Amino acid sequence: DSGVTQTPKHLITATGQRVTLRCSPRSGDLSVYWYQQSLDQGLQFLIQYYNGEERAKGNILERFSAQQFPDLHSELNLSSLELGDSALYFCASSGRQGNTGELFFGEGSRLTVL
């Protein structure tokens, strides 16, 4: 158990809909990262938050947004969903900004868009 909790584990929805994925980082970790893993693709970095502020942005679509709340949990909002958004979305946390320490991953949220 990494200590990172993601909900929901599985989600099935239709094109055009909006979903919210939730992540609770490991206790004490200030950084939260979101990654997307599509079929036959590696882990693609979406966005990172540190202590409530956005710190780095990757290949995140404009239809996607995220935030980190004062209690450090994070939410990834995916809107106007398309079939290609079907993927496994991972959240990871780490201790400090700039730290080279390891990432602790949640179990992922599997999104299926029909």
Residues that bind another protein (CB under 8 A): 2, 4, 33, 35, 41-45, 48, 50, 55-56, 58, 90, 97-98, 100-108
Smallest distance from another protein to CB 67, Å: 17
Burial of 71 (0-12, 13-18, 19+ CB in 10 A): exposed
Smallest distance from another protein to CB 69, Å: 20
Q: Of 100, 93, 99, 81, nearest to 19 (Cα)?
A: 81
**With respect to another protein, which residue has the nearer C-beta, 51 or 80?**
51
Instruction: Give the separation between CA 92 and CA 25, rounded to whole angstroms.
Output: 7
**With respect to another protein, which residue has the nearer C-beta, 40 or 62?**
40
**With respect to another protein, which residue has the nearer C-beta, 32 or 81?**
32
Please report the sign of the dihedral spanned by the C-alpha atoms of residue 39, residue 73, residue 58, residue 105.
negative
